[in-house]
Structure 1
């Protein structure tokens, strides 16, 4: 059984109550993740554009912040968003109570048999449309140097946040972030550093991603050199992880030569991940497995949401959906699983127990699970999200299939297919060419029911198989075409 990895982001810990800003609070936070074992490392995020500690490189979160007589938050003397008040106060409270809090956290993790890593967001651009760029999470360099931004000329009220990230081809940007790497690794003891490129890419100006591939490779080499220096200082190994796009082709398209990073021994863990927070079912993980050296740990990311179609219904994570994604990833070649946005503040029933067995492929596979069809969230310049469903199913007709990866250990499982649309459905359904039986009276799992209509079918024994399965719909209606499919999944009961 492999140990899993968990990312703990800035908002998770720092927006808790002030009583958590103590030694006991730090230990309690570690205990949440380690309660049932199975966790190899927690990656603690301590920055977005600003740092949640007294950084000498990034702007500390509290810089230029104050509170008026009524307790409202001010930034540079002007009112700003009060929702940041706790995020501004708590890091200062923790530093007052526990000046060496990172060392305390490191020791608390090791007492529980868990590694403590730093997680560095490499280009965070949360909340950067017009009229939000002066929130107290934006660093001084970003505020003052718009000439370093990758596509500031696109800046609009509804523009893509990613337009507003830094351009790593600019030497000042490169050096600024490498200095933060050095601060993390050499000033604060840890077991490793995660470079979280998904917060956010692209990191080059439009049209310059692939031609600047060598710049990111040089950055990874420089980071590895600093990690080796840190290992000598602290007297133990320092590993590196990279969070990269789910799809290998999109990593290449955004300037990430991950095969070179891995082939040169620069990185130890590769974490294919979604652009935002929507976990994906069909990520061609086998390509990563074939292309990476066996020594590199492949740990795909399970995030907190899922959505099947642009503008369609979304669903929050549950134990059953996490089981489904994990089973799919193990079948595709994953060595272990990485969890993002799985926090004490966003917990679901069974989350802590899940951490204990998620690294055990067989334990995951035998549990009840849901394999949800998901849309791909575009990342690279010039790529756009699309639907996983037929654009139209004509009257009294079928029109292609819906692809869903059901992972492994499907033999002998009792299973159902659920399909949803904005309008009522009158359909026959086949799985892998085998007709399925309508099951209107059987209970549905938790679903987003707003403006949605669902139908459920029982899968005949032997129709479901490991890996990719094809759902086909035959439109029985003589009056209406189907143009609004927005959900599909295969749901399996627990084994035995």
Structure 2
């Protein structure tokens, strides 16, 4: 069979975005056209992306003409669009735009594959193995009849709606049938099993039993790819997108080490799900994985802001990842030993509000594609100003009153050019009267007057308000390449009337 390629830059493209976003190719005024489908791929020309990870789903709706899930043949043609359209929920707006397109006998998966070939990048199917979008409502159109008609296959059959239980053979057969169909029908270069969307496949009490079941399922997919690859004289790679820590994988029933030992998988995509973070387990995976290549994933968001609850609208009102954070995190990943990078939801900075009035102050912006032209060039990355961001949800934050954590700096390329360095600490809500102390490698830092963002933000979404942030001067002689320890603490602790919660910490290193 053919050679196994060593990819450097994976780019996840969820076909749902064709139907939810306004772009240079498509506005909400018109139904979706082919230019939207091909434009989403061709805009990657000239970047260092070398493989497109195509998710052929709109939440739980398939986006190809399937014989396994016969939605477009036996269900969708007989549906009626409810009126008035102004009353549609977000889920319905996306679905009916997709339906109008698919009922024209369109093949967005095939068109995406062809566009990828035209710009010279490879093509994987990235399939979400238990997508949980909107399952709290049983009758939304994106769910499909297989889920809706078989509540006995759910993890909580008596509940309002839940993902599938992989202990049920019919569930595994259903997913295997879809994956086989995609691999048979399209000239793929590989397949990604996206276990991070959503990493729940078994009841907690049945995870031990589930591990063996999932091991067998992954082995079955490996055999499928080998069978098809042999016929095509082409090696088809198997990638798995999994939670960013080995313990989290095992908690979900995903024994990634066993898959690697059996050489079932070629690539492991360490995913922090939704937000870019430095806190992914690169070192532990590198120490325990022998055969598969390791990828670190980056996202369009670094933190979710309290503005979500203030606005009463939660559709990605979040702090967006800037060029400095993308480049600094990428360099950090490369130097910690990843074999490549992965980008997820990169183009979701675009307007996907469906004219939602509460989002009019955040209209969306075009993705920063220029970053992708040099993101694998470590020499280039090492010469740029740096912005390290440690946010909530991955072990360090949120933290009450005190916290200690490590950050690896990669300053060798700019050390002689550093002009200034600052640490900014964010706390939850109104805590400006509570004094905060910061130590860097045991050295107390001096608080300084600061205002605003450390670098130009990508947008105004999710930014902390002034009373939540404190600034500290970081002496330049402390900024050598390597691991550094940071200690944050409430100077009044344990005063019960002056408590605070740390939300994030940032390090900005300026070269001019």
Q: Shorter-normalised TM-score: what interval?
A: 0.7 to 0.9
Matched, 1:343 2:339: no
Say which of 378, 383, 390 aligns to 1:366.
383
Change (3 A) 1:57 1:364: farther
Inter-CA distance 400–264: structure 2 relative to 1 (3 Å threshold): closer
Deviation at 1:167, TM superposition (A): 0.9
SS of corresponding position for 2:155: coil
Equivalent in the alignment of 2:357? none
Q: In structure 2, what is the Cα distance between the partners aligned to 1:358 and 1:366?
A: 12
Native 8 Å contact 2:305 2:463 kept in 1? no
Report if aligned partners of 2:305, 2:464 keep a CA contact under 8 Å in 1.
no
Q: How far apart, CA to CA, are the structure 2 residues paired with 1:24 and 1:103?
A: 14
Structure 1, gaps ≥5 residues long: 74-78, 378-385, 393-398
User: Compared with structure 1, are the counterparts of its residues 191 and 339 closer, same or farther at alpha carbon in structure 2 (3 Å cutoff)?
Assistant: same
Provide the rounded CA distance (Å) in 1 between the counterparts of 2:184 and 2:441. Answer: 55
Structure 1 315/21 Cα, relative in aligned 2: closer, same or farther at 3 Å? closer
Give the drift of 1:43.
Answer: 0.9
Q: Does the CA-based 8 Å contact 1:72-1:82 persist in structure 2?
A: no
- Quote the residue 1:427 is aligned against: 436
Q: By how many angstroms is 1:324 displaced?
A: 3.0
The 3-state SS of whatever aligns with 1:462 is helix
Q: Give the C-alpha shift of residue 297 in structure 1.
A: 2.1
Q: 1:353 aligns with which of 361, 367, 370?
A: 370
Deviation larger for 171-180 or 17-26: 17-26
2:9 is the counterpart of 1:12: no
Q: C-alpha distance in 1, partners of 2:305/2:499?
A: 15
CA distance, structure 1, for counterparts of residue 228 and residue 103 of structure 2: 23
Structure 2 counterparts to residues 41-120 of structure 1, below 5 A = 41-47=51-57, 48-58=59-69, 60=71, 63=76, 65-68=79-82, 70=83, 72=85, 81=89, 83-90=91-98, 92-93=100-101, 96=104, 99=106, 101-120=108-127
Find the counterpart in structure 1 of residue 312 from structure 2.
none
Deviation of residue 224 (structure 1)? Answer: 1.2
> Do the aligned residues in 2 keep the contact of 1:42 with 1:116 (CA within 8 Å)?
yes
Residue in structure 2 matched with residue 316 of structure 1 by the alignment: 320
In the alignment, which residue of structure 2 is the partner of 1:136? 141
Deviation at 1:94, TM superposition (A): 5.5
Shift of 1:207: 1.3
Partner of 1:121: 128
Distance 1:450 1:400, change over 3 A: closer
- 309-318 vs 297-306, which moves further: 309-318
- 3-state SS of 1:195 partner: strand
1:115 positional shift: 0.8
Distance 1:2 1:186 in 2: 23
Alpha carbons 2:276, 2:321 under 8 Å: kept: no
Query: Is the CA contact (8 Å cut-off) linking 1:122 and 1:177 kept in structure 2?
Result: yes
Using structure 2 for the length normalisation, give the TM-score. Answer: 0.80
Determine the C-alpha separation between the residues in 1 that align with 2:483 and 2:304: 16
- Label 1:368 to 1:91 Cα distance change in 2 as closer, same or farther (>3 A): farther
Distance in 1 (CA, whole Å) between partners of 2:409 and 2:292 is: 25
Structure 1 stretch displaced more, 334-343 or 211-220 = 211-220
3-state DSSP of counterpart to 2:133: coil
Whether the 8 Å CA contact 1:2–1:38 is kept in 2: the answer is no
Q: 2:422, 2:509 within 8 Å by CA — same for their partners in 1?
A: yes
User: Which whole-Å CA distance do the structure 2 matches of 1:105 and 1:4 have between them?
Assistant: 18
Find the counterpart in structure 2 of residue 334 from structure 1: 338
- Give the aligned CA root-mean-square deviation in angstroms: 3.2
TM-score under structure 1 length normalisation: 0.83
Count of aligned residue pairs for this structure pair: 462
User: Could you tell me whether the CA contact under 8 Å between 1:372 and 1:490 is conserved in 2?
Assistant: yes
Q: Comparing 194-203 with 9-18, which one deviates more in the overlay?
A: 9-18
Aligned partners of 1:420 and 1:485 also within 8 Å = yes
- Structure 1 residues 487 and 59, CA, compared in 2 at 3 Å: closer, same or farther? farther
User: Is the alpha carbon distance of 1:487 and 1:46 closer, same or farther for their aligned partners in structure 2, counting shifts above 3 Å?
Assistant: same
After superposition, give the CA deviation of every residue in 1:66-118 in whole Å (9 maximum; x if it has no partner).
Answer: 225x5639xxxxx8636523433335426637x45534432321221111211
Distance 1:407 1:249 in 2: 27
Equivalents in 1 of 2:483, 2:271: separation in Å?
A: 20
| Other-structure match for 1:298 | 294
Deviation at 1:244, TM superposition (A): 0.5
